[in-house]
Amino acid sequence: MKGRQALKIYFAYTTQYLKTLMTYRIDFIFGLIGFFLLQTCGVVFVTLIFDSIPQLEGWNFHQVLFIYGLAQIPRGLDHIFTDNLWIYAYWAISQGEMDRILLRPINPLFQVIMERFQLDGIGELLIGIVLLVYAAINLAIDFSVIQILLLILLVISGTLVITSIKLITCSIAFWKKRSGPFVQVAYEFNQFCYYPISIYNKGIQFFLTFIIPFAITSYYPATWLLGIEGPLNGVIMPLVVAFVFISLSYSVWKIGLNHYESAGN
């Protein structure tokens, strides 16, 4: 019964969102182009760096571009499917929106995520795919079927890691009422992982691997695909860290939900 209700809610949210999207399709198109151009500026920055230097701590232009593209794909997927968490972090929880969610006999987190899709994130997703393919061609990487399947798995786990970090910081709103700034600060660390984290000191590398582990969404899988690291660091460690953070974030969300006090003084 719950499965059927979940599907009904999912299709209801999707239908309503698509109707809204068609009503404001010009806004959607401009948003899509805007995000695409924003990420293009980052690529221009990388290009300017390598116009001045031949290598960045032993990494060549196309290797860095490969990492940059790989970082964009899970970020784009997270942007498309879980962007609604930002709204709950900034104001929805403080204004009692969870009351409406909790009245339904469906998992509250499922409802929050399914309420809204942000298709602007397609711009990030597209540029990530383009950069990854372009860099792979120039690096003459010949992917095997197993590598492609593992890459898809790593992209999914990387997306879940980004969502997990967002969910943990969003859940702070159950205690603080508003946690948007916490989400924003944590999310900004993602930009460090557009580049090889080996260019940073050991403390930052540890932080980006185990504390706010954005590095496992791009850098570590890239080192394995580029033949720099073996599957232990490039595949197994990212999947283990992803599992830990997915579990941790959902636990924090449930604890926060138990502390929810609705709107009021």
Residue 70 has pLDDT above 80, yes or no: yes
- Sign of the Cα torsion 219, 151, 157, 184 reads positive
- What's residue 119's pLDDT? 79
Residue among 5, 246, 178, 28 at smallest CA distance from 116:
28
- What's residue 64's pLDDT? 93
Q: What's the pTM value of the predicted model, to 2 decimals? A: 0.84
DSSP 234: I
Q: Which runs of consecutive H residues, i.e. helices, occur in the chain?
A: 2-23, 25-52, 61-82, 84-87, 97-102, 108-114, 122-138, 145-171, 173-176, 180-188, 202-206, 219-225, 231, 237-258
Mean pLDDT, residues 180-197 taken together: 92
Distance CA 47, CA 41 (A): 10
Q: Which runs of consecutive H residues, i.e. helices, occur in 24-60?
A: 25-52
Mean pLDDT, residues 152-168 taken together: 96
Side chain identity, residue 216: I
- Beta carbons within 8 Å of 241's beta carbon, 6+ residues apart: 161, 209, 210, 213, 216
pLDDT above 70 as % of the chain: 83
- What's residue 236's pLDDT? 96
Distance CA 252, CA 109 (A): 12
Model confidence at 186, in pLDDT bands (50, 70, 90)?
Answer: very high
